[in-house]
Amino acid sequence: MINVTKPYLPDRKKLEGYIDLIYNTARMANNGPLVRDLTDRLEEYLNVENLLLVANGTLALQIAYRTFGIKGRAITTPFSFVATASSLMWEGITPIFSDIDSQSFCIDPQKIRTNITSETTCIVPVHVFGNPCDMQKIEQLVHNSNLKVIYDGAHAFGVKYRRKSIYSFGDAVTLSFHATKLFHTVEGGAIVFKNREDCEKAKLMVNFGISKPDTIEKLGINAKMNEFQAAMGLCVLDEIETIMEKRQFLWNRYDERLKNYFQLQKRNPEATNNYSYFPILFEDEKSLLCAKRELNNNDINPRRYFYPSLDTLAFLSSPNNMAISRDISKRILCIPIYPDLSTDDQDKVIKILLEQHK
Catalytic residues: 181
Cα–Cα distance measured from residue 344 to residue 342, given in angstroms and rounded to the nearest whole number: 5
Count CA within 13 A, CB hemisphere, residue 308: 9
Assign 3-class secondary structure to 171-189. Answer: CEEEEECCCCCCCCCCCCE
Nearest to 64 by CA among 202, 165, 189: 202
Cβ contacts of 80 within 8 Å, gap of 6 or more = 126, 128, 152, 306, 310
Cα–Cα distance measured from residue 161 to residue 169, given in angstroms and rounded to the nearest whole number: 9
- Say if CB 312 and CB 326 are below 8 A apart: yes
Count the helices and strands in the chain (H runs, E runs). 12, 16
Cα–Cα distance measured from residue 79 to residue 90, given in angstroms and rounded to the nearest whole number: 19
| 77 phi, psi to nearest 5 deg | -95, 145
Nearest to 178 by CA among 11, 51, 57: 57
SS3 label, residue 123: strand
Q: Which helix (H) or strand (E) holds 56?
A: none
Cα–Cα distance measured from residue 60 to residue 98, given in angstroms and rounded to the nearest whole number: 22
